[in-house]
Structure 1
Amino acid sequence: MRKTLSLAAVVTAAAALVAVPGVASAAPPVKQVQWVACPADVALPGLECGKLQLPLDYRKPEGRQTEIMITRLASKSPEKRRGILLTNPGGPSEGLTFPFFLKALGMPQSVLDAYDVIGMDPRGIGYSSPATCDLTDAQMLAGSVPPYAVTQADVRKRAEEVKTMAQQCLKSSTADELPYNTTANIARDLDRVRAALGEKTASYLGYSYGTYLGSVYATLFPRTSDRVVIDSNLPQGGWDVEGGRMYGPGVEDTFPDFAKWAAAHPGYGLGTTPQQVRAKYFDLAGRLDAKPSVEGITGQQFRMLVFGGLYATGDAAFSRMAAQWKALDNDQPLPPLEVPEVPRIESLISGRLHVICGDSQWPSSVSTYERNVAVDRVRYPMFGAAGANIYPCAFWPKPVEKQVLPSDRGPRNILMVQNERDPATPLVGARSTRRAFGDRAAMITVDQGGHGAYLIGKNDCANDKVTEYLLGGQRPSDVKCAAETG
């Protein structure tokens, strides 16, 4: 999901002290935003675009710079404006159009009046000094989520493939940027954006991977982060080896919603009870492992199709997935799929690898992933052998900086929002982040499935509580929002 933001005029102001762990730093000079015409695919109504030169390595602030692009969707009510709202859509992926996307999703006008909503392409991605690993089309199709390892031999095969990808990253024209394209430095970039816009503090709204970015931002900058909302939360370590394994429990948590729906719609022929629908999943996956469909869909691809399908809920999403199952069950072509074009996909996948592999040290032994897959294939049979499979990060250099983890030191200004059933960022992972923040955070859990709650899940209770916090600063205690009915 691609999103972006616009920025308007910039006021220069004294920057706050940027805290880089292990590095003594003086207040950096405030950089100016250079306002520019938006690229054609970012030029959406209300968005303004700007560029900012920031340190590639914050340990050497006057050294080599990297270019960051931002957007702003400016408040049109000066009397109601209270500041800026930095945003991140997850991924890591492009974020420039995200303010426009949030408005289209129905962000309340009161929030749009209160904030200039800011978007940013994270360093190494999109229009912000894009990285490359010289990936082939086949490598890009592999995406960010590993394939389901049907056998242990699949893990070893995947290991050879991702080792090649890692070597390409290390030999590419942007390899020298690789150690510095990390979440910690993206968080530092956010604070420099705040300073460049002349704001003493900044609020933040981030989803999925953006929850880990928000956690790091609030940890590094407790004095300049204002109201922080993180939605669909990664575990406290972010997208590390254990964060990737969250897909296993996530699918197990979320699938029963679809199974119940499909059982109530027997016309698709998937079963008349949730148990029969679940059995049909394993039946189809096994048959496609043995013999791909008429269109060449394999068992691995079927499992990935279901994983992606569980990101959304409701009649439209579930009927679409049920129709796909029916076609595969009868060895017919899949119904037409609306696949959005993803511009700059090579930069997207390459930049994502830079970030997730550079944030933490992943196990380097292939046997570790073989064991993880063997365990998770049994524990989470639907998708565990995908989430536990090996990433290029296994062959990555050691990070140059110790990983930044959520801290309970700082103001009580973090509001977490979490669906109880989420295929990618399940509740069990969110709870680890909640514990790490201690009294700094409160969490709204929402009785619904899917990936994304605020504005996405259409739960009035959750939407109202987040909006109230962004506007009034009154953070609720830990609370559960019941499922919407009717």
Structure 2
Amino acid sequence: MTKIERNAALFAALAAVLALVSPLTTASASTAGDAGPPHLDWTKCEGTALDPRQECATVEVPMDYAAPHGGKITLAFSRIPAENPRARRGALFLIPGGPGGGSLDQPSDKGQKLPQEVRDAYDLIGFDPRGYGRSTPVSCDVERGDLARTKLLPWPAPDGSVTENMTTARRMSEACARNGGRLIRHISTANEARDLDRIRAALGERKISAWGVSYGTYVGAVYNELFPHRTDRFVLDSNNDPDPVRVQRAWLAAFETGAEENFPEFAEWASRPGNPERVAGTAAEVRRLFLRLAARLDREPLPWPGANPEELNGNVLRQTMLDHLYDPDDYPALAELILAVRKGTVPPAPQAPPEPVLQNVTAVGAATLCNDVAWPRSAAGYEKEVAESRAEFPLTAGMPRNAAVCAAWPHAPKEPAVRITDRGPSTVLMVQNRRDVATPLGGALELREALGRRAVMVTVNSTGHDAYLANGNACGDRTVSHFLATGERPARDVVCD
């Protein structure tokens, strides 16, 4: 999963992207390497706070790769050319998290955090995945209440019941079937990887390098599997378990261990003497207070005008906790909420992201999760899993094993999930924080094992989601930057303390 839903400012920027009306030049890309690249008439990207060097285009690709001569969709992509043409090596794709995120503007923001020697060597390539943003978009047009974070992630009722979750799954699935058009059935990780290869062909690149983050690590791993000889230098940052049977179900389940591994870091910070947002005297007291307040809000929610839902209940508090564990910089806001709840008050409601953006993100996310792999459909099975999770992992109250929209998805996956293997060139450097609420170390180790000799892994002794140039450390950043600039990796897996 990604931080996109919890960051209102980012949503606002995405809304601006969706609202752009300036045309992009469209080209049609042949199947990988069949012919020379099409002519791309790059145009100025529209938007705010973009690097003036960033330019945009689109490429036309099949909606259904099993019927390549059928309906077409467009993919929007962008680039900032390598800053030193004499040192240019190729194209570095910025693969976004999600599912339900894009990187069209990232060459102008996170791309500029890359060290000079990397920016000298690569064209920085951003893109909006199929169905999203300025690519051919989809929307399920679900009810506004179903856009709440505690609906998009399936929090059970306070007593552990999943009845309402199953009802929500059916309602949202029916909306996607009714309003999502043909494209909703063809949004998947494998198709995103195929789309990346069409962009590669349109750019005229024989191989590509990539920096994939969070869900983008799975996209990168699938691309490596489907197009192994098109890969140059791949960085997979904050890694997902590639289990081909469970796929995103395993990622959702990982929140229960992710919360348990990360909450102690928050609790230690929130109990530190001298901290102006100090919550309690010890880390153990912080945990007990949080669980007690969540249980109280289960019984007696506080009105929260302007929020969705318009109450601060136990699950809203738990979801806010998860969202704020992504980044230690967000600890103060979580502490302030806990202190307010203890007094029986609420802070101002968080700014709501623009609804068209939420609808778009929700549709792409749901389609990817449900089209990659079939989910169980038995309410009784989810009830059992939720009960076990609630007993073992009280912080997450059963949500990670609960029934999401895919429990009622009307269509079976069109193909099996891609199995990640150790067959292919050794082109991958993984970087992973030791404490990551969304993509815990355990899932990264599963991907590391699946890739075998194809990868080397850098484990960073840091806390938070997104390691490279974000919540990692200088040792990890230096190792990744050196790999992108020179192609040299550590001889074996390393730990950066």
TM more than 0.5: yes
User: In the alignment, is residue 310 of structure 1 matched against residue 316 of structure 2?
Assistant: no
What is residue 417 of structure 2 aligned with on the other side? 403
Structure 2 SS opposite 1:412: coil
What is the CA–CA distance in structure 1 between the aligned matches of 2:36 and 2:347, rounded to whole Å?
56
**Residue 371 of structure 1 is aligned with which of 381, 384, 402?**
384
What is residue 226 of structure 1 aligned with on the other side? 232
What is the CA–CA distance in structure 2 between the aligned matches of 1:401 and 1:413, rounded to whole Å?
26
Whichever residue aligns with residue 383 of structure 2, its letter is: E
What is the CA–CA distance in structure 2 between the aligned matches of 1:12 and 1:200, rounded to whole Å?
17
What is the CA–CA distance in structure 2 between the aligned matches of 1:413 and 1:339, rounded to whole Å?
41
User: In the alignment, is residue 216 of structure 1 matched against residue 231 of structure 2?
Assistant: no
Cα gap change, 1:320 to 1:305, in 2 (>3 Å): same
Instruction: Assess if the C-alpha contact under 8 Å between 1:237 and 1:243 holds in 2.
Output: no
Of 215-224 and 356-365, more deviation after overlay is shown by 356-365
What is the CA–CA distance in structure 2 between the aligned matches of 1:310 and 1:175, rounded to whole Å?
36
Long gaps (5+) in structure 2: 5-9, 18-23, 305-310
What is residue 20 of structure 2 aligned with on the other side? none
**CA offset at residue 148 of structure 1?**
4.7
Of 206-215 and 127-136, more deviation after overlay is shown by 127-136
**CA offset at residue 61 of structure 1?**
1.8
**CA offset at residue 384 of structure 1?**
5.0
Whichever residue aligns with residue 357 of structure 1, its letter is: C
**CA offset at residue 383 of structure 1?**
1.0
What is residue 260 of structure 1 aligned with on the other side? 268
What is residue 243 of structure 1 aligned with on the other side? 251
Whichever residue aligns with residue 430 of structure 1, its letter is: A
What is residue 72 of structure 2 aligned with on the other side? 65
User: In the alignment, is residue 437 of structure 1 matched against residue 454 of structure 2?
Assistant: no
- 1:182-218 Cα distance to aligned partner (Å, 9 max, x none): 1101101101111111111000111111011011011
What is residue 496 of structure 2 aligned with on the other side? 481
Instruction: Assess if the C-alpha contact under 8 Å between 2:298 and 2:313 holds in 1.
Output: yes
What's the TM-score, normalizing by structure 2? 0.88
**Residue 344 of structure 2 is aligned with which of 319, 323, 331?**
331
1:376-395 pair list within 5 angstroms: 376-383=389-396, 385-395=398-408
What is residue 186 of structure 1 aligned with on the other side? 192
Cα gap change, 1:182 to 1:365, in 2 (>3 Å): same
Instruction: Assess if the C-alpha contact under 8 Å between 2:27 and 2:58 holds in 1.
Output: no
- 1:309-335 Cα distance to aligned partner (Å, 9 max, x none): 10111xx42222211211111112326
Instruction: Assess if the C-alpha contact under 8 Å between 2:26 and 2:60 holds in 1.
Output: no
Cα gap change, 1:337 to 1:131, in 2 (>3 Å): closer
User: In the alignment, is residue 461 of structure 1 matched against residue 452 of structure 2?
Assistant: no
Cα gap change, 1:394 to 1:11, in 2 (>3 Å): closer
Structure 2 SS opposite 1:344: helix
Instruction: Assess if the C-alpha contact under 8 Å between 2:301 and 2:312 holds in 1.
Output: yes
- 1:242-290 Cα distance to aligned partner (Å, 9 max, x none): 2211111111111110111111146546221111111011011011111
Instruction: Assess if the C-alpha contact under 8 Å between 2:461 and 2:472 holds in 1.
Output: no
Structure 2 SS opposite 1:445: strand
Cα gap change, 1:33 to 1:349, in 2 (>3 Å): farther
Instruction: Assess if the C-alpha contact under 8 Å between 1:245 and 1:384 holds in 2.
Output: no
Whichever residue aligns with residue 281 of structure 1, its letter is: F
- 1:370-396 Cα distance to aligned partner (Å, 9 max, x none): 122111112221015111121111122
Instruction: Assess if the C-alpha contact under 8 Å between 1:419 and 1:451 holds in 2.
Output: yes
Cα gap change, 1:28 to 1:235, in 2 (>3 Å): farther
Whichever residue aligns with residue 429 of structure 1, its letter is: G
Structure 2 SS opposite 1:448: strand
What is the CA–CA distance in structure 1 between the aligned matches of 2:184 and 2:303, rounded to whole Å?
41
What is residue 173 of structure 2 aligned with on the other side? 166
What is residue 272 of structure 1 aligned with on the other side? 281
Q: Sequence identity, in percent?
A: 35
What is residue 7 of structure 2 aligned with on the other side? none
What is the CA–CA distance in structure 2 between the aligned matches of 1:363 and 1:409, rounded to whole Å?
31
User: In the alignment, is residue 290 of structure 1 matched against residue 299 of structure 2?
Assistant: yes
Instruction: Assess if the C-alpha contact under 8 Å between 2:25 and 2:43 holds in 1.
Output: no
**CA offset at residue 14 of structure 1?**
8.5
Whichever residue aligns with residue 196 of structure 1, its letter is: A
What is residue 440 of structure 2 aligned with on the other side? 426
User: In the alignment, is residue 201 of structure 1 matched against residue 184 of structure 2?
Assistant: no
Cα gap change, 1:13 to 1:181, in 2 (>3 Å): closer
Cα gap change, 1:381 to 1:63, in 2 (>3 Å): same
Cα gap change, 1:12 to 1:199, in 2 (>3 Å): farther
What is residue 116 of structure 1 aligned with on the other side? 123
Cα gap change, 1:150 to 1:32, in 2 (>3 Å): farther
**CA offset at residue 470 of structure 1?**
0.6
Whichever residue aligns with residue 336 of structure 2, its letter is: A
What is the CA–CA distance in structure 2 between the aligned matches of 1:378 and 1:113, rounded to whole Å?
53
What is the CA–CA distance in structure 1 between the aligned matches of 2:481 and 2:233, rounded to whole Å?
11
Cα gap change, 1:60 to 1:90, in 2 (>3 Å): same
Q: Aligned residue pairs: how many?
A: 466
What is the CA–CA distance in structure 2 between the aligned matches of 1:209 and 1:178, rounded to whole Å?
19
What is the CA–CA distance in structure 2 between the aligned matches of 1:351 and 1:9, rounded to whole Å?
24
**CA offset at residue 345 of structure 1?**
2.1
Instruction: Assess if the C-alpha contact under 8 Å between 1:88 and 1:205 holds in 2.
Output: yes
Instruction: Assess if the C-alpha contact under 8 Å between 1:88 and 1:98 holds in 2.
Output: no
What is the CA–CA distance in structure 1 between the aligned matches of 2:29 and 2:396, rounded to whole Å?
50
Cα gap change, 1:479 to 1:359, in 2 (>3 Å): same
Whichever residue aligns with residue 196 of structure 2, its letter is: L
What is the CA–CA distance in structure 2 between the aligned matches of 1:10 and 1:268, rounded to whole Å?
52
1:97-176 pair list within 5 angstroms: 97-104=105-112, 106-142=113-149, 144-153=152-161, 155-172=162-179, 174-176=180-182
What is the CA–CA distance in structure 2 between the aligned matches of 1:287 and 1:190, rounded to whole Å?
48
What is the CA–CA distance in structure 1 between the aligned matches of 2:103 and 2:129, rounded to whole Å?
7
Whichever residue aligns with residue 440 of structure 1, its letter is: R
Cα gap change, 1:410 to 1:10, in 2 (>3 Å): farther
Instruction: Assess if the C-alpha contact under 8 Å between 1:32 and 1:52 holds in 2.
Output: no
What is the CA–CA distance in structure 2 between the aligned matches of 1:261 and 1:189, rounded to whole Å?
43
Whichever residue aligns with residue 298 of structure 2, its letter is: D
Cα gap change, 1:292 to 1:9, in 2 (>3 Å): closer
Long gaps (5+) in structure 1: 18-26
Whichever residue aligns with residue 291 of structure 1, its letter is: E
Cα gap change, 1:158 to 1:63, in 2 (>3 Å): same
**CA offset at residue 171 of structure 1?**
1.4
